[in-house]
Amino acid sequence: MPAAIPMPIRRRIWHCARAGQTVGAIAQSLNLSVRTVRHLLQRLQDDGAAALATGYAKCGRSAKEQPPPLVQEGLDIRAEHPTWGAGLVRVYLRRRHPQESIPSERTLQRWFRRTRLPAAPPGRRPEGEPERAIFPHDRWQMDAADQMRLQNGKGACWLRLVDECSGAFLRTVVFPQKLLGACIG
């Protein structure tokens, strides 16, 4: 939406029009479009001096004082779980009210903001670290590397077993690459 025409310029347009200047001359002298001047003069003719004031109070949607019941339930869920985003809150509302029309994610976000609930942290929560092995040989890890070029130009592959607790290499098996190719092909 373009910026509002300041009140002094609106008054100047009114004075110039009452002095008998044409719409084109007024627009050129104030560096405005002819359409803008024409519309403002039409409003002045229809509503008088009251048309000088901006009409932004009539713009946009009126804010409801109380949220609808399902939105209020979503606000309550969010207040209990501050790290949940609108999408997850919506999933829980759908589970509780499968037959009803659930508010959109964006609607919930607007109500969260309107009621001053802080935004949920972005992204997914990191999963907890899996427990590492406490004693040696509780868990082994296997790693493989294939199609590795050796310094002499030949290819090689290997498998390695590592103890998760101590980090010790338990076994490494190296074999030429062409053996693996023969098995696959």
- Per-residue model confidence (pLDDT) at position 183: 47
- Per-residue model confidence (pLDDT) at position 91: 94
Look up the CATH number of the domain holding residue 40. 1.10.10
Nearest to 77 by CA among 100, 52, 108, 98: 108
Q: Which amino acid is at 6?
A: P
- Per-residue model confidence (pLDDT) at position 101: 94
Q: Which amino acid is at 91?
A: V
- Per-residue model confidence (pLDDT) at position 14: 86
Listed range (37-46, 132-141, 148-157, 175-184) with the worst mean pLDDT: 175-184
Indicate if 108 and 82 belong to the same structural domain: yes
Indicate if 13 and 54 belong to the same structural domain: yes
Indicate if 12 and 53 belong to the same structural domain: yes
On whether residue 92 sits in a domain, the answer given is yes
Indicate if 79 and 48 belong to the same structural domain: no
On whether residue 30 sits in a domain, the answer given is yes
On whether residue 150 sits in a domain, the answer given is yes
**Highest mean pLDDT pick, 12-26, 42-56, 113-127, 167-181:** 12-26
The 10s digit of each residue's pLDDT in 98-141 is 999 999 999 999 999 988 888 888 887 777 777 888 888 889 98
Indicate if 11 and 47 belong to the same structural domain: yes
**How many separate domains does the chain show?**
3
Given a cut of 50, is residue 185 above it in pLDDT? no
Phi, psi dihedrals of residue 170, rounded to the nearest 5°: -90, -40
What is the domain range of residue 147? 140-184
Residues 6 or more apart whose Cβ sits within 8 Å of residue 85: 120
Phi, psi dihedrals of residue 144, rounded to the nearest 5°: -130, 150
Residues 6 or more apart whose Cβ sits within 8 Å of residue 38: 23
Give the model's confidence band at 47: pLDDT under 50 very low, under 70 low, under 90 confident, else very high.
confident
On whether residue 84 sits in a domain, the answer given is yes
